[in-house]
Amino acid sequence: MIDIKQAHKIFNKGKANQVNAINGVDLHIDSKEFVVIVGSNGSGKTTLLNLVAGSVLPSSGSISIDGNDVTKLPDYKRSEWIARVFQNPLSGTASDLSILDNFRLAAIRTKVKGLSVGINEQFKKQVKDKIATLGMGLENKLEQPMGTLSGGQRQALTLLMSVMDTCQVLLLDEPTAALDPHSAKVVMETADKLIKDFNLTAILITHNLKDAFTYGTRIIQMGEGKILKDMPSEKEAALKQNDLFDWFG
């Protein structure tokens, strides 16, 4: 599904503050794989995710998604395949817009945003039913601005929004980092359920080793812009949580 070949990303090339964020990464991710990426700060996890999403373009190397070469494609054109959940709950939803408006945009992620009014009673009902599955009581607050909701609620809604339109790849960049433990649990469980229900290919970045251990079918450790360890699903089962802690030793 995702193929990264010899990817390099250098920021501020040739200047005193040059950073080699990604140093030759080769990575193949199969369809329906749920990859968890761990690694210390500055190891290149987020840059790697941004390379897949297209918000950062590689200095060299190539990236393809579902057989299409997307190396030079900007992020807004990759939305055809990719949905994203950001670390900051404010980034994944528009505060000034109502919940309904946010969902409308998510429902036409892969389509042209045209000059017709897309929000009708049928659409409202569809969104309402979807939001009701979260059990957060938000289904009766569709007209409320997103900005009035808590970070946990917004992350959960962002997740739901990602499957409003056809979605193949879900990118999760530390989605629970800004949340309290309870909200974090709800968001991770929702993510896991959606990934299974919709047969998504997913990449999750996390600093929470318990999540890394609990979720996913493959675990990757990054360091200094390279992939240090890559454990496929069958080995991950044998992996002990303590081994993960040792990785950071």
Partner 1 sequence: MDFYLATLVQGLCFSGVALGIFISMKIFNIPDITTGGSYTLGGAVTGMMLTHNHSAYTVLLVVIVAGAISGAITGVIHTKLKINALLAGIIVMTGLYSINLTVMGRSNIPLNNIPTLFSLINISSNPNQNTFLVLLLFVLLLTLIIGYLLKTDFGISMRATGSSETMIRALGVNTDAMKIIGLAIANALTAVSGYLITQSQGYADINMGVSIVIVGLGSVVIAEVFINWLHITSIWLSLSLALLGAIAFEFAVAVTLDLGVDATLLQLVTAIFVLLIVGLPRLSFKTSS
Query: How many whole angstroms separate alpha carbon 103 and alpha carbon 93?
Result: 9
Give the shortest CB-93-to-partner 1 separation in angstroms: 6
Nearest to 21 by CA among 64, 58, 65: 58
Phi, psi values for residue 122, rounded to 5°: -65, -45
Query: How many whole angstroms separate alpha carbon 151 and alpha carbon 126?
Result: 23
Is residue 113 a contact point for partner 1 (CB under 8 A)? yes
**What are the C-alpha distances in Å from 15 to residues 10, 11, 20, 228?**
11, 9, 12, 27
Give the shortest CB-122-to-partner 1 separation in angstroms: 15
Nearest to 222 by CA among 31, 29, 19, 49: 49
Is residue 92 a contact point for partner 1 (CB under 8 A)? yes
Number of other CB atoms surrounding residue 131 within 10 Å: 23
Q: Which is nearer to partner 1, 60 or 148 (CB)?
A: 148
Q: Which is nearer to partner 1, 118 or 232 (CB)?
A: 118
Angle at 239 (CA atoms; ends 168, 178), nearest 5 degrees: 55
Is residue 14 a contact point for partner 1 (CB under 8 A)? no
Return the residue of 13, 26, 69, 90 that touches partner 1, per CB under 8 A.
Answer: 90
Is residue 84 a contact point for partner 1 (CB under 8 A)? yes
Count the site residues for partner 1 by CB under 8 A. 39
Is residue 9 a contact point for partner 1 (CB under 8 A)? no
Stretch that binds partner 1, among 56-64, 80-88, 125-133, 179-187 (CB under 8 A): 80-88
Give the shortest CB-75-to-partner 1 separation in angstroms: 5
Task: Catalog residues that contact partner 1 under the rule CB under 8 A.
Answer: 53, 55, 74-77, 79-80, 82-84, 86, 90-98, 101-102, 104-106, 108-111, 113-119, 143, 145
